[in-house]
Amino acid sequence: MSLAERDNCLKWDGRSPGHYEVYYLKLNHRESGCAWWLRYTLLAPQRGKGTAVAEVWGIFFDPNDPSLNRAFKQTFPAAEGARWQSEPFSFRVGERAELSHSSARGELRDGESSLAWDLRWEPCTETFYHFPIAAMYRWPIPKTKLLSPNVDLRFYGSVSVDGRTFVLSGEPGQQSHLWGSKHAYQWVWANCNAFEGHSDRCFFEGLSAQIKLGPWKAPFATLVALELDGQRYSLGGLWTAYRTRSDIALPAWSFAAKRRDIKLWGRLSARYEDFVGVEYTDPDGEKLWCNNTKVADCEVNLARRVNGRWTEPVVLAASRSAALEFVAHRKDPRIPIKI
């Protein structure tokens, strides 16, 4: 097994309460402009808060006609509906949904509406780690751990939505893994690997999150990274993370990060109708509300200091093909909750 595949292995021991775990995929179909968000999840509530469940989520985004957006969820008792193994990695929920390190399949229905997917990809050779210090994946804080074993993928296969079939032949997307005992207090997350004119190994990943320690809310920590032309520019060290400017105002997020030799700044935004609202539940029963789209616009700028002078910025742009997610402890009345 590669290290990236090991990073996909389930962290839950199958018994302990107070744990949640999520695998998610996002993918874009460039010809139609449509996109999908697929989630395989586990929730083991704290003692006295309920029984463990496994779920499959599927959300479809159509930027040409947002009235066609669809959201699905199916829930199973974890003891009966979840099966997993480590070598090779696989996680199965129910009879129709399974995720491996190089494939995913599933089917969801809601009345006469349906979503089905059969996907495969060439796995990444290295995991993308969001945290700047490896020990942060072992420390009790932060209470959520996030990494991307397959941060920049090309998907093959097909997805069907309400009778429409989309054939995928090298379409951009990613697969990530997160787990923990409690979500961050609030955050914004973004990803794009469908930049115009850059079809190979070019991606942006951004996260700006605030955690809560008892009654105290920590400042936002912002981690951003760009891979371009085989070189990765990461601005996510502990000092940089708390100095990076992060302006969060749904439906847009802008950021500006700088270190001695690199500047990285940009903006992502979408229309309100492009977002789908969903409800998250922590192991302690607390609720959060997520507003998510996979069809946001994205612009990222990169400048480097060479011989003491800043270069002209490289500008990367993507239209209606970026992921953008806002999560907070209150609902936004402009975006209906679908799950």
Quick one: which of 91, 121, 116, 94 has its CA closest to 105?
116
Mean pLDDT of 27-38: 97
* Residue 20: strand, helix, or coil: strand
Q: pLDDT exceeding 90 applies to what percent of the chain?
A: 94
Mean pLDDT of 253-278: 97
**Domain boundaries, given as residue ranges, for the chain:** 3-328
pTM for the whole structure = 0.96
* Residue 283: strand, helix, or coil: coil
Mean pLDDT of 251-269: 97
178: amino acid identity, one letter: L
Position 80 scores a pLDDT of 93
Mean pLDDT of 215-221: 94
225-148-177 Cα angle (round to 5): 140
Tokens representing residue 229 in the block: 């032309």
Mean pLDDT of 138-151: 96
The DSSP element (H or E) to which 243 belongs, if any, is: helix 238-243
Tokens representing residue 174 in the block: 């990613």
Residue 200 has pLDDT above 90, yes or no: no
Compute the distance between CA of residue 90 and CA of residue 108 in angstroms, rounded to an integer.
19
279-300 pLDDT tens trace: 999 999 999 999 999 999 999 9
